[in-house]
Amino acid sequence: MIDWPQIVREHGPAVWRSCFRLLGNRADADECFQETFAAALGAIRQPSTVVRNWSGFLVRLAVARAVDRLRQRVRRTSHEHAGIEPAALIDRRTDSRPAVAAERSELSDRLRDALSHLPPNQAGAFVLHCLEGWSYRETAEQLEISVDHVGVLVHRARAALRERIDAILPDAPRPEATRTLPTDTVTQATTPTTTKRGAL
Amino acid sequence: MNSNHNHTTDARRPNDDERELDRHIDALRGDTGDGPSPELLAATIRMLDGQAGDDASSTAEFPRFVRTSGSRSIEPTRRFTMTFAQRIYAALSLAAAACVLYFMFVLFNASGPRVAFAQVLEKVTNAKAMAFTTTTEVPGGKQTVVMRTIQDDADHMRIESGNNVTIRSGDVMLILDATNKTATRMDLSGLPKKNGGGGGGGGLLDLNALRALSDKPAEELGAKTIDGVETTGFRIPWNNGGTFTVWADQKAAIPVRVELTIPMGTVTAKAIVDHFDFNPAIDATTFSTEVPEGYALNVQKLDLANAAPDKAAEAVAAFLKLYTSHSGGAFPADLTDWTTNTRVITEGGGTVDPMMTGTLSGQLFSLRDGYHYAGKGARLGEKDKVVFWYRVSKDQPYRGVYGDLRIEQLPADQVPSTQPTTK
């Protein structure tokens, strides 16, 4: 007999945080939270389902549902708000928050938007490993794939996210990049340089 | 080359991009909100307790996501609405298929030497399975629904529409929603038994069940070319007020296109059935009711014993009881104006189970001889007024629902003579 009240109380906060992290607003996170537990109930009824790690099981379900919602949200808003960046439609914090918090909010929104464009398996592996902090082995166990496969998915996800973020704001300042462009650069031919730092 | 040149305006350094991504990850990792509200936790526990108690609810309800203050509901009505519409469209689809076969049999038999009778008979009676596409418009519906149906002579059916698949295999029906990764398995009971054997029914062609559809002569419409095929058209009026028009290939003796009009209260649905395929390829997965991996499963029981046409009076009385208890005693002006009727009930503080209205709608639709509703202007308690009456077939007596919601068989002299709203 499963003690659902205990499971909800013990693991609910972590599940909710996983939902909120990806969806960015309380209303969506609440709905995703309930969907997660409904899905868990349905999964438990399958004779083949044995849960050894409730936290991992529930967070994995939550992440999958949140990623789906994120993808649906972007698809829906791209039809309804042509010309408006989907990230602009995610709840934003008010301008009264400190600048640092506002900047972090913007970074979060941008990454959410980029995540919504990933294939679900890449997004899931990336979220569990890079955002939830799971090891490759833990991620592999919950997704029921090999550790190598997790590595491939995360690698591809990161590459796609880099590209996507770069495309969203290609002129965003790189805070730690070294820019020492000599003043006569623009007149030089764009031939590959033989120096190490300029090598392509 | 300028040795100071370590960054061009066009090249990106991988490390820069990695650091940029890590900044984003770091920001999102910490963006976890304030946590779930106590209300949400309590509501979720209530939801789980309500569903975990019995594995298959006898009330056949979808999971009720509990609304918490300050957040939206999960829109369970959206799923209800989709399934309700699916049932209506599925009913239309099946009716269209059945009629196609029957009328093709009858019409080509009656059309004389244009098509060899033996050809038609062989094709129809030997068919083990059939596939076709149904395009349905319901006035007031938000879109035209296109469905592809495959069915065989062993009580299996598969309907695909958009991201939804419905599979029926005997007493099990599985509804899959690929968008939301949900599966609803319905264990059906009280199914009507199919007529069979004796050349009059069974399999894909159930003549015994279909003969009552129309006793009116067919109107020949002449020839028409459809998709490059020379066809002959016939229109048959149904007893329930609808029409059935079939355009059939003169040479191959198979339908090319079927057009249906189906009265549904104050509106008329239209359906087109085409792209027929007799004995299509079927494999072990076509009618499989196994739940795909990754789908959340919900199991329900659905007792259809009271969903048969001959129980229409009981279903109507139940609906009218619900309606009048929230309308101050007034009966609906139009029995099948579900939108208005649902609004009246909900504004009166009640709730409408789409399963109830969906089943009732299907029952009314399947009454081959139509039904009659005279509740407009009537009030609960008018014990001498018959507000609803019907008969399952011409050799059966009428059954009626009175203004006080009692159900009785109507003697011939008590059947109302006026036909107020629908046939």
Higher pLDDT, B291 or B210: B291
Whether B24 sits inside 8 A of A21 (CB atoms) is no
Q: What is the mean pLDDT of chain A?
A: 77
How far apart are the CA of A43 and the nearest CA of chain B, in angstroms? 6
Q: How many CB pairs under 8 A join A and B?
A: 188
Look up tokens 């999958």; give the residue: A64
pLDDT tens digit sequence for B127-140: 778 888 888 776 55
Q: Which of A116-120, B26-30, B244-248 has the lowest mean pLDDT?
A: B244-248
Which residues lie closer than 8 Å to A20 by C-beta, 6 or more apart?
A26, A29, B31, B32, B33
Residues 91-110 of chain A with CB under 8 A from chain B are 103-105, 107-108, 110
Substitution target in A111, A132, A191 with the highest count of B β-carbons within 10 Å is A111
Of A39-53, B124-138, B245-259, B318-332, highest mean pLDDT: B318-332
Q: How confident is the model at residue A22 (pLDDT cuts 50, 70, 90)?
A: very high
Q: Which of B35-39, B171-175, B330-334, B410-414 has the lowest mean pLDDT?
A: B410-414
What is the rounded CA–CA span in Å between residue A53 and residue A42?
17
What is the rounded CA–CA span in Å between residue A171 and residue A169?
5
What is the rounded CA–CA span in Å between residue B319 and residue B333?
13
Closest CA to B117 of B90, B229, A163, B125: B125
pLDDT tens digit sequence for B169-201: 888 889 888 878 888 888 887 766 554 433 333
Whether A108 sits inside 8 A of B28 (CB atoms) is yes
Give the DSSP per-residue string, B155-180. SEEEEEETTEEEEEETTEEEEEETTT
- Nearest CB to A33; choose among B32, B36, B52: B36
Whether B43 sits inside 8 A of A34 (CB atoms) is yes
What is the rounded CA–CA span in Å between residue A101 and residue B414?
78
Whether B6 sits inside 8 A of A178 (CB atoms) is yes
In this predicted structure, what is the pLDDT of residue B224? 87
Asked if ipTM goes beyond 0.90, one says no
Give, rounded to a whole angstrom, the gap between the first and last alpha carbons of chain B.
91
B48 and chain A in contact, CB less than 8 A = yes
Q: Which two tokens stand for residue A134?
A: 């799971």
Cβ-based contacts of A107 with chain B (< 8 Å): 23-24, 26-28
**Predicted structure pTM score:** 0.43
- Nearest CB to A177; choose among B16, B68, B291: B16
Half-sphere exposure of B168 (CA within 13 A, CB side): 19
Cβ-based contacts of B34 with chain A (< 8 Å): 26
Q: Which two tokens stand for residue B53?
A: 């108690």
A173 and chain B in contact, CB less than 8 A = no
Look up tokens 């997004």; give the residue: A123
In this prediction, residues B45-51 reach a mean pLDDT of 76
Which residues lie closer than 8 Å to B52 by C-beta, 6 or more apart?
A2, A4, A41
What is the rounded CA–CA span in Å between residue B328 and residue B330?
6
How far apart are the CA of A172 and the nearest CA of chain B, in angstroms? 9
What is the rounded CA–CA span in Å between residue B166 and residue A150?
34
In this predicted structure, what is the pLDDT of residue B200? 35
| Per-residue exposure over B369-395, b if at least 16 CB sit within 10 Å of its own CB, e if not | bbbbbbbeebebebeebbbbbbbbeee
Higher pLDDT, A147 or B255: A147
Look up tokens 């909010």; give the residue: A105
Q: How confident is the model at residue B215 (pLDDT cuts 50, 70, 90)?
A: low
pLDDT tens digit sequence for A143-158: 989 999 999 999 999 9
Residues 332-351 of chain B with CB under 8 A from chain A are none
CA angle B348, B354, B359 (to 5 degrees): 125
B23 and chain A in contact, CB less than 8 A = yes
B11 and chain A in contact, CB less than 8 A = yes
Cβ-based contacts of B4 with chain A (< 8 Å): 180, 182
In this prediction, residues A152-176 reach a mean pLDDT of 79
In this predicted structure, what is the pLDDT of residue A111? 94
